[in-house]
Chains A and B, each alone.
Chain A
Amino acid sequence: MRRSCTRCAALDTWSVTALVRLFRTTAFKLSLLYLAIFAVGTGLVLARLGSGVQELLDRQIKLTIQAEIDDLAEQFGSGGLGGAWRLESAITSRTLQPTSALYLLTNYAGVPLIGNVAALPEGTLDRDGIVETTYRQVGSRAPHLALARTVTLEGGFHLLVGRDIELRERLLAAVGQALITALICIAVVGLLGGLYVASRVLHRINGMTATAKTIMAGNLAGRLPIAGTGDELDRLAENLNAMLERIAELMAGLKQVSDNIAHDLKTPLTRLHNDAEQALRGAREPAQYRAALERIIEESDGLIRIFNALLMIARAEAGSGREGMTDFDAGAVTRDVAELYEPLAEEAGASLSVSIEPALPVHGNRELVSQALVNLVDNALKYGVTAEGRAPALAMADAVAPGASPEPPDGPLPAEQGDWRARGEITLSARRVGRSIEIAVADRGPGIRESDRARARERFVRLEDSRSQPGSGLGLSLASAVAHLHGGELRMEDNDPGLRVVIAIPARDTVALPGKQPPGAP
């Protein structure tokens, strides 16, 4: 018994809070607002109807009264006994008919002579025009309302003709009743409708809230329910779902990145640690310590470079490179990079050629585009020069990346001439394709399998074939981020044989970059 009561109370509390929540919904409040508007509207319509009816009846009654007065006055004529008699008989005959008409004839002192009116408020007979007055009919107790007009005839007689307006009053009362009924109906239907709509909305919102809570609790795969009605709540849910999708993607990317960072930074850190430990254990001479310390500095420099590259990618992806954007010629940037790398390529046993169309205006961050291009050329030198095409010098040049920078021997490095030159062929090109400017770095190396291409641009991803080469796996990631920052893309294509990496960005004269000022802005 007590148990069921507790449950009762609990249920009560629950339903009260649920009800309160229902009342608080926007849908319910809107329903109340509509309810009020409809009520006022209905009231106005009925009031207008009432007043219209009253006006119409009044006019009709007034016309009738006037007609009768004219008629009776005519009967009376110029007065005299004949006129009085005619008037009396006319009134008598009319009062005998079952109508709502009022007749009263008095003498000059106001003493009733004939008619069907038993009582009138004092002074009524002296008032001019048609007046609304109470009266009591002969043979009746209850006072009634009437419209009446009094005229004074020859000889001081007062003739009052009127019409009972009880019907009009009843009509007005009926209209008033209808108004009240209508208001009650509107209130009831409106409240119920409001509650229904509110509860429907609340139900869907509750569904969304519940999902949101599970997502907050860690179920990142959760998605908001969609009713399939295509209404605004559905659209909202769809957009929120798209947002959740994007967040989940980013989270996955972030997780992948942090996993990779942890893994890829562990390797150089371990090397650094080992170098220090080994120096402590084994070194005897100051020179040995010095060498160990230099190695350690090189390792830590390498780590810093990796961090810088990561930061740069993150900034490019966040779009923060946009402030430094200017107008420049993509061809000039390409030529500069080619010129910077030409001696290195030659030493690496590769030929570096350029093919640049004139007038390739782009709007962007020159530094970032140069850096992206430098990364691509770097990759081409590292992976695009096949083993048989590799000059001895390249191995030496590569050994320093990314961390170390040992001094090259004074004097030029030996450059061997031979068949391998054809294999180590790197081409930098810049050209216009439709509305895009395409800057490409092509090599004759082993290339990247199509299935690996998407993965190759992820951070820290180093494909199996490239593991033997030093590198951080960040070069293509940065190039890709830079291309995206400029509203373009990074493509990897077959160079038959070899790899062609293309940075395609919109040409300056055709497309405004997303979120950038219109052309001509500084």
Chain B
Amino acid sequence: MWSMRILIIEDDAEAAGYLVKAFRESGHVADHAFDGIEGYSLARDGNYDVLIIDRMLPKLDGLSLIGGLRSQKIETPVLILSALGQVDDRVKGLRAGGDDYLGKPYAFSELLARVEVLARRKGSGTAEDTIYRVGGLEMDRLSHKVTREGREIPLQPREFRLLEYLLKHAGQVVTRTMLLENVWDYHFDPQTNVIDVHISRLRSKIDKGFDAALLHTVRGAGYMVRDGAR
């Protein structure tokens, strides 16, 4: 587990304190700013991996803050937190330069998973790789071929995208809502375990008949593709 430097810009002291504490307990470094101006100068000068920005902030609102940072060529990944959980608000937030959007209330595990994905994205260039490899599993993104230990695994298009997303974030927790958003492009919660069933289908295809499981369930959070042998 590596350690991230996170800046939380949130005017609700209690919520911010909870987040700072929770991130530190997860082994990360978390700073906190109360308003938009303070947050802006911290975000500009500090070397953060991820910024968590509330949309409603005193002095300078969240979207303007992001716009300001982006115009200064500061490309630190931003996750927008908002009590306005609607699709349109999300679109506005992403258009303003945010990288991810999470409506309140949220589970910390969800926030953590998303922040980890954002921070990792900054460093590695996995999105550009044409071949993903985890354990004996190999995905060729150009020829849409998936093999494990040389044996070809036939996948439906959606299963391919699901596995692709999991592999892209191999070693990281991926939540159900992240899968819904990125694989199915749905930004609502279907309120059933519909994702779980897709995962278990995929699991039966890639893990069945092999010694080590690659697709793991992370209790209370989501799923992770990880090389079990290591």
CB distance from A72 to the nearest CB of B (A): 106
- Asked if residues B186 and A344 are in contact (CB atoms below 8 Å), the reply is no
CB distance from A428 to the nearest CB of B (A): 14
Contacts of B213 in A (CB 8 A): 410
Contact of A347 among B158, B188, B197 (CB under 8 A): B197
Contact of B189 among A305, A340, A341, A365 (CB under 8 A): A305
- Asked if residues B186 and A367 are in contact (CB atoms below 8 Å), the reply is yes
- Asked if residues A365 and B87 are in contact (CB atoms below 8 Å), the reply is yes
Interface size class of B (residues with CB under 8 A): 20 to 34
Contacts of A339 in B (CB 8 A): 158
Contacts of B199 in A (CB 8 A): 408
Interface status of A228 (Cβ within 8 A of chain B): no
- Asked if residues A340 and B204 are in contact (CB atoms below 8 Å), the reply is no
Contacts of B105 in A (CB 8 A): 304
Q: How far is the CA of A368 from the CA of B217 in the complex (A)?
A: 30
- Asked if residues B217 and A401 are in contact (CB atoms below 8 Å), the reply is no
Q: How far is the CA of A297 from the CA of B197 in the complex (A)?
A: 22
Q: How many residues of A contact B (CB 8 A)?
A: 40
Binary B-proximity of A381-398 (CB < 8 A = 1, otherwise 0)? 100000000000000010
Q: How far is the CA of A407 from the CA of B203 in the complex (A)?
A: 14
Closest to B218 in A: A407
- Asked if residues B186 and A370 are in contact (CB atoms below 8 Å), the reply is yes
Interface status of A219 (Cβ within 8 A of chain B): no
Contacts of A294 in B (CB 8 A): 220
- Asked if residues A401 and B204 are in contact (CB atoms below 8 Å), the reply is no
- Asked if residues A374 and B190 are in contact (CB atoms below 8 Å), the reply is yes
Contacts of A323 in B (CB 8 A): 88
Contacts of B219 in A (CB 8 A): 407
Spell out B's residues near A (CB within 8 Å).
85-88, 91, 105, 107, 158, 176, 184, 186-194, 196-201, 203-204, 208, 213, 217, 219-220
Q: Give me 15 A-to-B residue pairs in the complex whose CB atoms sit less than 8 angstroms apart, sorted by A's number.
A: A294-B220, A321-B88, A323-B88, A340-B198, A343-B194, A347-B197, A367-B187, A371-B186, A371-B190, A400-B193, A405-B196, A408-B217, A411-B200, A411-B204, A413-B200
Q: Which 6 A-B pairs have the closest CB atoms?
A: A343-B197, A408-B196, A412-B204, A344-B197, A371-B188, A324-B88
Q: A324-B88, A344-B193, A407-B196 are in contact. List 11 more A-B contacts (CB 8 A).
A: A297-B107, A305-B191, A312-B188, A344-B192, A344-B197, A367-B186, A368-B87, A371-B190, A408-B196, A408-B199, A413-B197
